[in-house]
Structure 1
Amino acid sequence: MKNAKIRKSIMAAVLFGALPTIVLADDVPANLKGSGELVITSGGGTWEAAQKKAFFDPFTRDTGIKVVLVPEDHAKLLASVKLGQPEADMTSVPGGALAGFVEKDAVEKIDYSLFAKETLDEMPEQMKNENGVGALLYSIGVGYNTTKFPKGKEPKNWVDFYDVKKFPGARSLPKCEKLVDGGLLEGALMGDGVASDKVYPIDMDRAFAKVAELKPHVGRWWVAGADAPQSLISGEVDMAAAYNGRIFGAKKDGAPVELSWDQSLLQYDFWVLMKGSPNKENAEKFLAYISRPEPQAAFAEAISYGPVNEKAFSLVPKELLDILPGSPAIAKKQVFQDYKWWNAKNAEGRTNWDVALERCVVLLSQ
């Protein structure tokens, strides 16, 4: 029976040109099938190509619901929602930005009743927000030049990153506008010896003191994710706070760079349903469909982002488990970034993000 199903999967892959991990129509619950359309924003490029092959095309094939794509422009999308005419039914947003969309009353609450019980059981709690469903996992960690730090002499974590005596050389850290996405304060605290499970709530005084200590050794403050690996490749810096995808992309192209997973931050995006969406039911069916392990594994194979369904890790090639954020081999070394803490407000109505941004700007201007 198992071999027959494998043969059927292979045949489906040939017929539909799908990824190795294929989602079969007869595996899709009847309550996810429908008609009409679903409008989703897309960022284009390899990102869109991976989503199309893993999510959009199989969803249309298996449910009968057509996916229509529009260019991603969150400012334009939010403006259309405010007018009561959302240009898209759904979009994806960084985990730290979700609270802002909720505050603007721009998103609908998620109805998880269409999700199979096993799907929900296989998703980490962080991926099941009442206002958004986990879209993917990615990480920021210690990237380094392997020419400067060959195997056996490489930095392993943030403690090593902040140790300029044991590991001399220039560093690269995120600029203030990227302090959350770039894990600036979390990395500083762990670099100062704070245990991974004690990072939150963040002690800003201690974190900024550590950043100030390293400041004379920072050769580049980056804004774009591509800046970190580029500065490593050019020799401008020897270590950098860097995104896993950027480092492994550069490494695949032959660059002498590597990333340490120890103490890396596990970050994530959310899918959100826009307020007033005319195709809300289709959007909910889409989320229940793509959150299953098979589509998640297909997406991970296509673009090397971590899947939000833990069972998907058992469906991808074993060699991918060493580079996928959140995989069983890596997750125990990682720290889930706490977006709820970053968006919590003080008595003055300012978020921790607001306060940290102001302090960061002052520090970097000194």
Structure 2
Amino acid sequence: MPRVKGSHRRDTKIEIESHHRKNRGNKKLKSTTMKFALSASLLVSGIPAIAQAQQVSANLKGTGEIVVTTGGGGAFDEARQKAWFEPFTRDTGIKVVLVNASNAKLLTSLKVGQPEADMTFISGGEVPTWIEKGYVEKIDYSFYSKETLAGIPQDSRGEFSVRSHSYSVVPTYSTKKYPEGTKHPENWVDIYDSVKFPGKRALPNCGNTMYGGLLEGALMGDGVPPEKLYPLDFDRAFAKLKAIAPNVGRWWGWDEGGLATQSLIDGEADMGAAWNGRIANAKKEGAPVALSWNQSLVQYDDWVIVKNAVNKVNAAKFLAYIGRPEAQAAFAQAIPYGPANRDAFKLLPKELAENLPGGPGVAEKQVTQDYAWWTKPRADGRTNLDFAIERCRAILAR
């Protein structure tokens, strides 16, 4: 993630996560590589016919509005506007109003009983806390058609949240260092093998332990099978990270997703970990980078309707509308994220469908990050994430 992965990460910090959730803005890329920045207009200019006017069931039509938080601007918001917001208003008659409010600000408004927005999206890792704190309403699935629900996996539609899109932390490498046709890193085992693949790495820093997939990558790099990752073996993971540390040229933070790609372009690193959208878009613009889906880590964002939302019914209609395969496919064509509705892949060009998180030929190579394990409290009351960050900084000082 992202976003593109990284380009829409917003401030979603809530009180229990203040140690690792900072402003979701992006640091600017260096001027030497600005030519590789993907413009929002380029991303969304090719929105296909599937986003054009469509017949929708009468129960989705209405009047009034919904108020939705922005995603931080840029390509991500442009994609949502063209693939979801504008078509929803056109086909249902319900207006979408965007507010530039961080989720921290939104939560403050909830606590005084005056929510600034009806709905927002949050990382899947934050959903349990929002539910525990009573910040969200139940999702009304009665507005979804049977066909739409059939295409959305059960684990993507919870009682209080529903999947928006997925993204991945992927093994990545420089094609200047490893030109096409030559042996290159293909998985985390290769990324962590400094003998077979000498050179500098770009890896997430300690503050990005969970969202950067730092420990999962280290463990798979040490030979742990994906199906046996959780519970994570902290001792083994940090031993592997300590061993690879002298070969790391860039430690990047969760709000520095562009630096993972940047380091490959500038030669600061030859390989490493990055969010798939960053690499895909840089490559599309001609940057000498590539990725592998082998052992990639699936992450995701979910939609939630906030407690006491003024336009709760319209928000439920919106979620049912964008959950349809047509809307999901339009979004995936606008920006390289995996659709929540599996039937959307059938509507996408084969080349695109096979290069998205969860896509055909990709899903079986991936492992889904276990957010529930990361946020589980330990005996001392701290979460596994709290413990991991503290230990990481003590060992790596990164």
Aligned counterparts of 2:95 and 2:131: Cα–Cα separation in 1? 27
Selected match of 2:358 from 305, 323, 326: 326
Following superposition, the deviation at residue 347 of structure 1 comes to 2.5
Selected match of 1:220 from 241, 245, 250: 250
Aligned counterparts of 2:232 and 2:138: Cα–Cα separation in 1? 29
> For 1:150-200, what per-residue CA distance to the aligned partner results, in whole angstroms no more than 9, with x for missing partners?
233111000001100000001111111211111001111111111111111
Structure 2 residue aligned with 1:124: 153
Aligned counterparts of 1:18 and 1:239: Cα–Cα separation in 2? 32
1:154 has 2:184 as partner: yes
Following superposition, the deviation at residue 55 of structure 1 comes to 0.7
TM-score by length of 1: 0.92
Following superposition, the deviation at residue 113 of structure 1 comes to 2.2
User: Which stretch of the first structure deviates more once superposed, 39-48 or 119-128?
Assistant: 119-128
1:344 has 2:373 as partner: no
Structure 1 residue aligned with 2:241: 211
Contact 1:25 1:61 in 2 (8 A): no
Aligned counterparts of 1:355 and 1:130: Cα–Cα separation in 2? 29
1:296 has 2:317 as partner: no
Structure 1 residue aligned with 2:200: 170
Structure 1 residue aligned with 2:65: 37
Write the letter of the residue equivalent to 1:30: A
Contact 1:229 1:240 in 2 (8 A): no
Equivalent position SS for 1:328: coil
Equivalent position SS for 1:173: strand
Equivalent position SS for 2:362: helix
Selected match of 1:81 from 105, 110, 115: 110
Following superposition, the deviation at residue 117 of structure 1 comes to 2.2
Aligned counterparts of 1:330 and 1:23: Cα–Cα separation in 2? 28
Following superposition, the deviation at residue 18 of structure 1 comes to 6.1
> For 1:3-45, what per-residue CA distance to the aligned partner results, in whole angstroms no more than 9, with x for missing partners?
xxxxxxxxxxxxxx9632135442x122111111100011222
Residues paired across the two proteins, number: 349
> For 1:245-267, what per-residue CA distance to the aligned partner results, in whole angstroms no more than 9, with x for missing partners?
11111111211110011000111
Aligned counterparts of 1:342 and 1:118: Cα–Cα separation in 2? 33
Name the structure with the higher helix share: 1
Contact 1:139 1:325 in 2 (8 A): yes
1:191 has 2:221 as partner: yes
Counterparts of residues 265-304 of structure 1 (less than 5 Å): 265-304=297-336
Write the letter of the residue equivalent to 1:171: R
Following superposition, the deviation at residue 126 of structure 1 comes to 3.0
Following superposition, the deviation at residue 101 of structure 1 comes to 2.2
Contact 2:47 2:334 in 1 (8 A): no
Contact 1:138 1:244 in 2 (8 A): yes
Contact 2:124 2:299 in 1 (8 A): yes
The alpha-carbon distance between structure 1 residues 23 and 341, as it changes in their structure 2 partners (threshold 3 A), is farther
Following superposition, the deviation at residue 300 of structure 1 comes to 0.5
Structure 1 residue aligned with 2:75: 46
Aligned counterparts of 1:353 and 1:236: Cα–Cα separation in 2? 29
Unaligned runs of 5+ in 2: 1-45
User: Which stretch of the first structure deviates more once superposed, 93-102 or 288-297?
Assistant: 93-102
Contact 2:53 2:90 in 1 (8 A): no
Aligned counterparts of 1:352 and 1:105: Cα–Cα separation in 2? 22
The alpha-carbon distance between structure 1 residues 39 and 219, as it changes in their structure 2 partners (threshold 3 A), is same
1:109 has 2:138 as partner: yes
Write the letter of the residue equivalent to 1:38: I
Contact 2:47 2:333 in 1 (8 A): no
Unaligned runs of 5+ in 1: 1-16
Write the letter of the residue equivalent to 1:144: Y
Aligned counterparts of 2:373 and 2:351: Cα–Cα separation in 1? 34
Q: Which has the larger radius of gyration?
A: 1
State the identity as a percent.
58
TM-score by length of 2: 0.85
Structure 2 residue aligned with 1:56: 85
Aligned counterparts of 1:328 and 1:194: Cα–Cα separation in 2? 24
Write the letter of the residue equivalent to 2:304: V
Contact 1:41 1:90 in 2 (8 A): yes
Following superposition, the deviation at residue 349 of structure 1 comes to 2.2
Following superposition, the deviation at residue 72 of structure 1 comes to 3.7
Write the letter of the residue equivalent to 2:209: L
RMSD after superposition? 1.5
